[in-house]
Amino acid sequence: MSEITTSTDILTEEVTHEHSHVHRDDFGAKIGMWLFLFTELLLFGGLFILYMAYRVQYSEAFHFAAKELNIGLGTLNTIVLLTSSLTMALSIAALQRHKKQLSLFLLGSTIFMALLFMVNKYFEWSAKFSHGIFPGSADLMDRDKGEIVFFGMYYAMTGLHGLHVIIGVILLSFMYVFVKRGSVNPDNYIKLENSGLYWHLVDLIWIFLFPLFYLLH
């Protein structure tokens, strides 16, 4: 009987202990996130090297093919992503100041702009598809080798980036629920912060993709 009481006591003690000193390693979590971002950097870095090599080899074809990309849509998407990066940073700042509703609104805006980016991308790619420009299409295969390579790189790199945007939407939607439920709160928001880091990386990659593909003429 006494044994049971003791173990319950210890259990109760442990629970209270856990509550007073929750073991968390935000610093470690952040380092882990940055390490992941570096692997992302290498992933895209490799593609950028490939782009550089092909651009040197097929410089004229690249300039010619790039004229077919829609600068207006590209610029719009750049502005959309930059603004979503702003609302992401502001959302964290709002949560730090205990403004939950404002934080949720800003996080929602970030998700909305990420979706807007994908909608623009959809229209952009649809237009290309209707002109017969997509990987392996008969129209494209008739073209100069350099142009085939250009559009190959274009679809591979903006496609991989688009995939990251979609993953970002899913990730940030989870964060929205976490903030709403309060498991991500002003005292514990490392998840939101790390998601923000990921989102800024997606923005960073686009900062380079945009001039390298759209502004080539």
Partner 1 sequence: MSNVNEHKSHVGYGRYVLIWLILLSLTIATVAVAGIDLGKLTLSVALLIAAIKSALVINIFMHIKFDDKIFKVFLLVALMTMLVVFVLTSTDIFFR
Interface positions with partner 1 (CB under 8 A): 21-27, 30-31, 34-35, 38, 41-42, 45, 48-49, 52-53, 56-57, 71, 75, 78-79, 82-83, 85-86, 88-90, 93-94, 96-97, 187-190, 193, 196-197, 200-201, 203-204, 207-208, 210-212, 215-217
In the bound state with partner 1, the residue whose beta carbon lies nearer, of 50 and 134, is 50
In a 13 Å sphere around the CA of 204, the CA atoms on its Cβ side amount to 12
Q: How far apart are CA 213 and CA 68, in angstroms?
A: 10
CB of 112 to partner 1, least distance (A): 16
Supply 20's token pair.
Answer: 């007073």
Least distance in angstroms from the C-beta of 2 to partner 1 = 35
Rounded to the nearest whole angstrom, what is the least distance from the CB of residue 205 to partner 1 in the complex? Answer: 10
- Residue 71 or 118 having the CB closest to partner 1: 71
Asked if 110 and 91 touch (Cβ cutoff 8 Å), the reply is yes
Cα separation of 31 and 48, whole Å?
25
**What's the closest the beta carbon of residue 82 comes to partner 1, in angstroms?**
5
Query: Which of 21, 181 has the CB closer to partner 1?
Result: 21
* Residue number with CB closer to partner 1 (4 or 23): 23
Specify the residue, 42 or 138, whose C-beta has the smaller distance to partner 1: 42
Measured from the CB atom, the residue of 87 and 140 that comes closer to partner 1 is 87
Q: Which is nearer to partner 1, 30 or 121 (CB)?
A: 30
Yes or no: say if 162 and 121 are a contact pair by the CB < 8 Å rule: yes
Minimum distance from CB of 135 to partner 1 (Å)? 24
CA distance 197 to 8: 43
d(C-alpha 181, C-alpha 169), whole Å: 18
Closest approach of Cβ 134 to partner 1, in Å?
Answer: 25
What minimum distance in Å lies between the beta carbon of 132 and partner 1?
26
Spatial separation of the C-alpha atoms in residues 210 and 8, rounded to whole Å? 62
